[in-house]
């Protein structure tokens, strides 16, 4: 674990004590000390989209939290944290990459470590073409949910998706350790057979690295397939990973986020 620094977060955020927002139920266990938002952004995307990430921290017993931003595609071992005091039941951090970390035109993951129980929720969104906005809600994942080396098929991370015209499927991976890791990603049909076409890929992540592979079904023959299974496994190295899928409508940029799960712990 990286040593927390003493650089304090500038008071540019709004701390609010409000009722819980009407967000979907979390897949993660309630309340934890350390975890990751596996994807956060402040950058332009496809089809004239521009993505930013807002974060809410719900405090159960914590009084402060360390936050690290891990840039995509690099070794983030020496990244320093910002330290945020938690003075109310809910702390709202709009456009967290620019306001908390002073970075832009980038994406990555956010690592958090609190001194008490917290729930962390983010929304990564883009303005809509005709008004409003589109985006996806991502809950913070406790480090205990990561997939580790040697866990076997039951300890691999799984996601399910339909191959459908007009949508793109993006895969995200986050290394939650200081050890480099190689990840093998495979796509299977609903009967457990390898999907036709290019149905596997390998990605290497540096320490605390995050990477997103866009349009991972592009190597499959065009068509409609229901219930494809995407499996991500640690195939080399001592690191541990988290993963997600983001299914994005090419017309509206509306995104559907899915946290990976595993059967064995």
Indicate the helix (H) or strand (E) that contains 259.
strand 255-259
Cβ(163)–Cβ(193) under 8 Å? no
- Percent of the chain residues past pLDDT 90, beyond the cut: 74
In DSSP terms, 247 is beta-bridged to 169, 256
184-236 pLDDT, tens digit each: 999 999 999 999 999 999 999 999 999 999 999 999 998 888 899 999 999 99
Does residue 40 carry a pLDDT above 90? yes
* Lowest mean pLDDT, pick from 22-31, 46-55, 131-140, 233-242: 22-31
The pair of structure tokens assigned to 118 is 């917290």
Q: Which of the four pLDDT bands, split at 50, 70 and 90, describes residue 265?
A: low
Mean pLDDT of the chain: 88
**Cα 73 to Cα 69: distance, rounded to the nearest angstrom:** 12
What does the longest C-alpha to C-alpha distance in the chain come to? 53
Residue 151 has a pLDDT of 86
Confidence at residue 21, expressed as pLDDT on a 0 to 100 scale:
35
| Average pLDDT score over residue span 241-265 | 89
Task: Answer whether residue 27 shows pLDDT above 70.
Answer: no
Instruction: Quote the pLDDT of residue 251.
Output: 84
Residues 238-246, mean pLDDT to the nearest whole number: 96
Question: Which is more confident, 46 or 168?
Answer: 168
Q: Both tokens of residue 21?
A: 């927002």
In whole angstroms, what is the distance from residue 119 CA to residue 221 CA? 41
**265: nearest Cα among 154, 184, 172:** 154
d(CA 74, CA 71): 6
What number is the average pLDDT over the span 53-74? 96
Band of pLDDT at residue 19, cut at 50, 70 and 90: very low
Q: What is the pLDDT of residues 128-159, one digit of tens each?
A: 888 899 899 999 999 999 999 988 888 899 99
- At 12, the pLDDT band (50, 70, 90 cuts) reads very low
- Pick the range with the lowest mean pLDDT from 30-34, 55-59, 74-78, 142-146: 30-34
Window from 9-18, 64-73, 154-163, 222-231 with minimum mean pLDDT: 9-18
Contact 260, 232 (CB under 8 A): yes
* Residue 223 confidence (pLDDT): 83
Domains of the chain with CATH codes: 14-143 (2.60.290.11), 153-259 (2.60.40)
If you average pLDDT over residues 160-166, what whole number do you get?
Answer: 92
């Amino acid at each position: 674990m990286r040593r927390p620094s003493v650089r304090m977060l500038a008071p540019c955020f709004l701390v609010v004590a409000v009722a819980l927002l009407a967000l979907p139920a979390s897949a993660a266990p309630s309340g934890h000390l350390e975890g990751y938002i596996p994807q956060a952004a402040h950058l332009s995307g496809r089809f004239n989209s521009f993505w930013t990430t807002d974060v809410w921290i719900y405090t159960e017993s914590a009084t402060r939290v360390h936050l690290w931003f891990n840039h995509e595609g690099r070794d983030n071992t020496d990244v320093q944290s910002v330290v945020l005091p938690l003075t109310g039941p809910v702390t709202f951090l709009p456009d967290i990459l620019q306001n908390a970390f002073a970075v832009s035109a980038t994406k990555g993951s956010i690592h958090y470590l609190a001194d008490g129980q917290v729930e962390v929720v983010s929304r990564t969104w883009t303005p809509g073409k005709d008004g409003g906005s589109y985006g996806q809600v991502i809950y913070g994942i406790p480090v205990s949910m990561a997939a580790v080396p040697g866990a076997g098929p039951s300890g691999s991370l799984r996601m399910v998706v339909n191959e459908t015209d007009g949508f793109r499927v993006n895969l995200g991976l986050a290394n939650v350790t200081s050890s480099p890791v190689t990840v093998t990603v495979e796509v299977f049909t609903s009967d457990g057979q390898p999907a036709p076409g290019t149905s596997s890929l390998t990605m290497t992540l540096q320490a605390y690295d995050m990477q997103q592979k866009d349009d991972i079904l592009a190597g499959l023959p065009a068509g409609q397939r229901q219930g494809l299974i995407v499996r991500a496994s640690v195939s080399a190295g001592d690191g541990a990973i988290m993963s997600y899928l983001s299914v994005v409508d090419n017309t509206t940029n509306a995104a559907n986020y899915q946290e990976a799960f595993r059967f064995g712990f």
